[in-house]
Amino acid sequence: MSTPLLELRKVTKIFGGKRDYTVALDDMTLVLEEYFPKIIAVVGESGSGKTTTGMLLLGFYGPTMGQVLFRGRPLHELKGAELFRFRREVQAVFQDPFAVYNPFYKVDNLLSIPIKNFKLARSKAEARELMEDALERVGLRPEETLGRYPHQLSGGQRQRIAVARALLLKPKFLITDEPVSMVDASLRSTILKSLRALNQEFGVPILYITHDLTTAYHISDYIIILYHGSVMEAGNVDSIIRKPNHPYTKLLVSSIPWPDPDLPWGGTEEMIQKSQVAFKAITGCKFAPRCPYKMDICETKAPELFMPERDRVVACYLYRDHTVLPREELSSVFAQA
Amino acid sequence: MSEPVLQVKNLKVYYYVEAGAVKAVDDVSFTLDFGVKMGLVGESGSGKSTMAFALMRMIKPPGKIESGQMILDGIDLLKLSEEKMRQTRLRKLAMIPQGAMNALNPVMRIDKQLIDGMLDHGVIMSKEEREARVAQLLEMVDLPPKVAKMYPHELSGGMQQRVTVAQSISMEPDVIIADEPTSALDVVIQRQVMETINRLQQRLGLSIILIGHDMGLMAQSVDRLAVMYAGKMMEIGETHAMFRDPLHPYTRLLIESLPVLENKGVFSGIPGITPSLLNPPEGCVFHTRCPKAWNLCQEATPEFVEIKPGRWVACHLHTA
């Protein structure tokens, strides 16, 4: 088997000092292959560790324990040409379509700088051609986009330019962190469409980080549900959204506000009214304090990843009769389809 | 026939900028009945937040309420003196702001912030009465009593938003305007906060205007729905009827742009972008993006008419 493009190997990330700390990500292993052109969603509430996962993979900070690897080499050891390669091959689209632009420069900058940095074009005309091509691919008209300032464009257009920028570099992997959460609902689909096209036409695998289960369901092939730094459930997105197994996933899915007045919010009251508790003290299942199905064992030992189906793992003792998948092999459930 | 608690008639709110007047709310009329929850939806720039601030009479220069009427319990808010209006806010009409973290005073304990408004409005309470009122308000929004002595930064986003909900009901107003109260929250917390608001509405008989852009949340939470676009009211009706049979093409596109369980992988957005409110298109403001536009739409602005009881629409397809 070839060396994976990106890998989190038994990664734990802790923020804060000795006394007051937060475990943002807890013993996570995730293998992301270059030639596996699928979209994997990482979903969770605030504090679930989803953004931390993305930041670690982009090398914006290092793990407290474990390793983050790019083509088998620890990210923090990369230098020179290797680092350059990493920066080109792994691209990101972030949440805020305002913050990535310098308001004093035309939006062209976002596209022309990478072209210059990575020497993608030999002439101005060629650079222009690349930019126009990338914009057209995300459904924007270059003549209506280039030469404008960020404030002259809508949030949706700006976010699509960010996708165009990622596309320009022909990345091997794309990490998107809440790319549509700050964009109007009516414009979200255009961005998701661009991402999906990037994935299918160019075979770029995407890690789609979000708190929004609806868009995750629509765009991705697989899903990882995180809660306070641990995987609760992972696998095929269709079966998980349509038939969630973990009590936490059930809560999430039943809280989706479907745009249909005849499909009301379901779920149990007592489960959602419970407030949060301090999480560093928890040794067992992290969801146990809010879980209506809590058993004694849930409070003493964190559950393994049980495999009720070939393409799904659930970290919950309700499924303990099923085979256990070692944590390090989490990514194998994504190859089962 | 139910009684209207709030009637807005031909309201116009303009912002005066160097290039001219931005018509953020342009000739909007609607009625809110007692005990009804109405959703007000639209994309960014549709004028929905301006509408909220106009109802509170909190439009700041260069914005100005040009003309119209806002009748609350028989009184035209636009005719009140500044002082009378100040007394009306919170007492009769309160607002739940969009970002709770920016609405709370970071250096004041929650108990003080909860009754600050009441004291300012001349309510006289003994120390015991104050404590009792704080405890009661916290209980109403499902917060534990210990929150009283805490500071905003010690609370989660959802808890902070609950505090602003408690503030808004402190003087038991008739109408509450909630400006995207849950847009910064996760789905589970969003649902909890909305369920708290629902319970309060029933307990206190509130009438609520819920402003937002999320049609999914609207489907789950409101009785009636009003759709705004580029400063104009497009359609108003009962929520079920609006979702089942949207009359305005814009309403239909808004609903269809949302993902549902059955159409996985179908991404249908609304083509084009919202027009500049400095130079809105002639005729119907939506005709530049409307799949059903015909020549009349470019020439004449459709009237906003009640085509069946309780159902209003501004579209030539239904009125011409």
Tell which residue, A84, A145, A92, A94, has the closest CA to residue A119. A84
For residue B63, report the phi and psi dihedrals to the nearest 5 degrees. -80, 155
CA B312 to CA B237: how far, in whole Å?
6
Residues of A in contact with B270 (CB under 8 A): 186-187
Is B272 part of a structural domain of the chain? yes
Two tokens, residue B93: 């009409």
Say what the pLDDT of residue B109 is: 95
Partner-chain contact B43 A212, CB within 8 Å: no
Residues of A in contact with B249 (CB under 8 A): none
Q: Which of A46, A154, A264 is facing B186, going by the closest CB pair? A: A46
Share of chain A above pLDDT 90, in %: 48
Say what the pLDDT of residue B2 is: 65
> Is A96 within 8 Å of chain B by CB?
no
Residue A200's H or E segment, with its range, is helix A185-202
Is B203 part of a structural domain of the chain? no
In B184-231, DSSP assigns E strands to: 207-212, 224-229
Residues of B in contact with A258 (CB under 8 A): 216, 219-220, 260-261
B14 three-state secondary structure: strand
Two tokens, residue B226: 């009003």
Which A positions 187-226 lie with beta carbon below 8 A of chain B?
Answer: 187-190, 192-193, 196, 211-215, 217-219
Q: Which of A155, A218, A252 is facing B187, going by the closest CB pair? A: A252
Residues of A in contact with B101 (CB under 8 A): none
Q: Say if residue A281's pLDDT is above 70.
A: no
Burial degree of B120 (CB within 10 A; 0-12, 13-18, 19+): exposed
> Is B255 within 8 Å of chain A by CB?
yes
> How far apart are the CA of B90 and the nearest CA of chain A, in angstroms?
28
Average pLDDT for A199-225? 92
CATH code, domain carrying B302: 3.40.50.300
CB B88 within 8 A of CB B169: no
Is B32 part of a structural domain of the chain? yes
B40 three-state secondary structure: strand
> Is A20 within 8 Å of chain B by CB?
no
Say what the pLDDT of residue A47 is: 80
Q: What are the distances in angstroms from CA A211 to CA B99, B186, B193? A: 18, 7, 17
Contacts within 8 Å (CB) and 24+ apart, B287-291: B289/B250, B290/B249, B290/B250, B291/B249, B291/B253
Q: Say if residue A1's pLDDT is above 60.
A: no
Say what the pLDDT of residue A273 is: 46
Two tokens, residue B237: 């009706």
pLDDT tens profile B50-108: 999 999 999 988 899 999 999 999 999 999 999 999 999 999 999 998 877 788 999 99
Is B50 part of a structural domain of the chain? yes
Is B41 part of a structural domain of the chain? yes
Which stretches in chain B have pLDDT values below 50? 1
Domain extent at residue B59: 4-79+224-319
Is B168 part of a structural domain of the chain? no
Say what the pLDDT of residue B317 is: 93
Going across the sheet that includes B4-17, the strands are B20-33, B4-17, B63-72, B75-76
Q: Say if residue A254's pLDDT is above 90.
A: no
Considering only residues A105 and A144, tell me which one the structure prediction assigns the higher pLDDT. Answer: A105
> Is B274 within 8 Å of chain A by CB?
yes
Say what the pLDDT of residue A181 is: 79
ipTM: 0.76
Residues whose CB is less than 8 angstroms from the CB of residue B263 and which lie 6 or more positions away in sequence, other chains included = none
> Is A5 within 8 Å of chain B by CB?
no
SS3 annotation, A149-167: CHHHCCHHHHHHHHHHHHH
Residues of A in contact with B213 (CB under 8 A): 184-186
Is B31 part of a structural domain of the chain? yes
Greatest CA separation for chain A: 68
Partner-chain contact A213 B187, CB within 8 Å: yes
Say what the pLDDT of residue B69 is: 94
Q: What are the distances in angstroms from CA A144 to CA A20, A107, A126, A138, B86? A: 51, 11, 19, 13, 46
Q: What are the distances in angstroms from CA B181 to CA A136, B55, B277? A: 37, 17, 26
> Is A327 within 8 Å of chain B by CB?
no
Two tokens, residue A17: 């000092």
Tell which residue, B39, B10, B31, B24, has the closest CA to residue B211. B39
Residue A144: pLDDT band (50, 70, 90) is: confident
Say what the pLDDT of residue A336 is: 60
Average pLDDT for A164-179? 90
Radius of gyration, alpha carbons of chain B: 20
Helices B110-120, B127-140: crossing angle, 10 deg rounding:
110
CB A100 within 8 A of CB A94: yes
DSSP class per residue in B112-134? HHHHHHHHHTT----HHHHHHHH
Is B22 part of a structural domain of the chain? yes
Say what the pLDDT of residue A270 is: 44
Domain count across chain B: 1
Q: How many CB pairs under 8 A join A and B?
A: 120
Going by their DSSP bridges, the two strands A173-177 and A90-93 should be labelled as parallel
